[in-house]
Amino acid sequence: MAQKLYDFLLLLALPWVWSRLFWKARRESTYRQRIGERFGRTPPALSRGVVWFHAVSAGETNAIAPVVRSLQQRLPGETFLVTTMTPAGSARVQALLGDIAEHCYAPYDYPWAVARFLRRAQPKALILVETELWPNLVRQTAASGAAVHLVNARLSERSYRRYRRLRVLVRPMLARIDRVVCQYEDSAARFRALGAPAVEVAGSVKFDAELPPDLFGLYDIGFGDAPTWIAGSTHPGEEEIVLDAHRALLERHPRLHLILAPRHPARTPEVVRLCAERGLATGLLSERARGAPVLIADIMGTLASLYGLADVAFVGGSLDRTGGHNPIEAAAQGVPMTMGPARFKVEEICARFEAAGCFHPVTGADDLAAVVGELLDDANQRWREGEVAKAVVEANRGARQALADKLFEWLRRGRASAS
């Protein structure tokens, strides 16, 4: 009954789905491309019998890409498919795995769209990354005979409460998942409470991320020895807060530079306008601007390297309702971090940095300016916190290899039983 109600509500929501897709396409032109894939119309060249990884966007793709590459080397006879839901995720698949994996968008969770996709792809296994739980996707894939695994899984207290209210729908879905591999024990306990039958803990593969090579020539952006801070992966509403904090900081640090990296580079014209409204001159990374008072990082895939050029980092998606983006990239570069209160997507990761004393919560422009200003004033404190941040990253490494080993064994076992 719950499944039928869910499908009926999905049907009622179809006009809203189309409207939202159209609205996103107006803001970011890449959403106009390959719309058919979102309703199960796969590319003609898509292979059958794939090992299917589903990662919603860029962060999840960055995290799982090394695992996919490791498995491809150990299982050379398999064909790997990596799906995403966003253009940013699609771009990362092409950049990180384009030579070894096929790619398309995953279908929306309409029964007919999922069925159309499955008829074409005929997956041997589905590996969902982090929290990509969709009832029809899981139910129909499991019914097709494919194994379903959820890996690098996380479940915040907020999401747990929501899922618990929907347990008549969530419990049957989790029962169809063969294994859940969580980042940490608190998420594992929540999955068990919701009825997941096989749950284990392996840590977060995001801690195993390697710093990318400087392919864009970021080693010299013309800042010299001037103090610099960075706001990474910002969303609408956050840039205004960051820029207001920056204007306040300029009163104490007139040589201060800001690197501003919007989560979606297509929003660059909007961010340039916000800077101009505040009398702040800008330069674009794509135009190789040097010495710009505010450098706007409008090139996807450069943020991890840009963190290394800053003295202090603000990590976005945390002063709106997004839930926070990955702070590990900044920590790995030895940069003290600050984030807003909305960190439910990365709460377990942030807790480790906060406990170590290299993480500063903020709520708005005033305390953001105060925290950044305090760190800019004290080079010794910055150095200490940076070293602690790197130590936390090192202490939490190892999940990637553990997860790759588990998946290799499960996929090899599945291949043996099918032969």
pLDDT digits (tens, 9 = 90+) for 2-23: 888 898 989 999 999 999 988 8
Residue 328: Cβ-neighbour burial (10 angstroms; 0-12, 13-18, 19+) = buried
Q: Residue 286 burial by CB count (10 A; 0-12/13-18/19+): exposed, middle or buried?
A: middle
pLDDT value of residue 416: 57
- Decide the pairing of beta strands 337-339 and 294-296: unpaired
- Given 60, 102, 348, 385, the catalytic residue: 60
60 carries an active-site annotation? yes
Q: Quote the mean pLDDT of the chain.
A: 93
Mean pLDDT (whole number) for 32-49? 93
Task: Give residue for tokens 């994996």.
Answer: 101
pLDDT band at 210 (very low <50, low <70, confident <90, very high): confident
pLDDT digits (tens, 9 = 90+) for 332-364: 999 999 999 999 989 889 999 999 999 999 999
Q: What is the DSSP letter of 282?
A: E
Cα–Cα dist 303/299, whole Å: 8
Q: Which residue has the higher pLDDT, 306 or 131?
A: 306
For 236, other C-beta atoms within 10 Å of its C-beta total 15
| The pLDDT value given to residue 219 | 61
pLDDT in tens, 227-281: 999 999 999 999 999 999 999 999 999 999 999 999 989 899 999 999 999 999 9
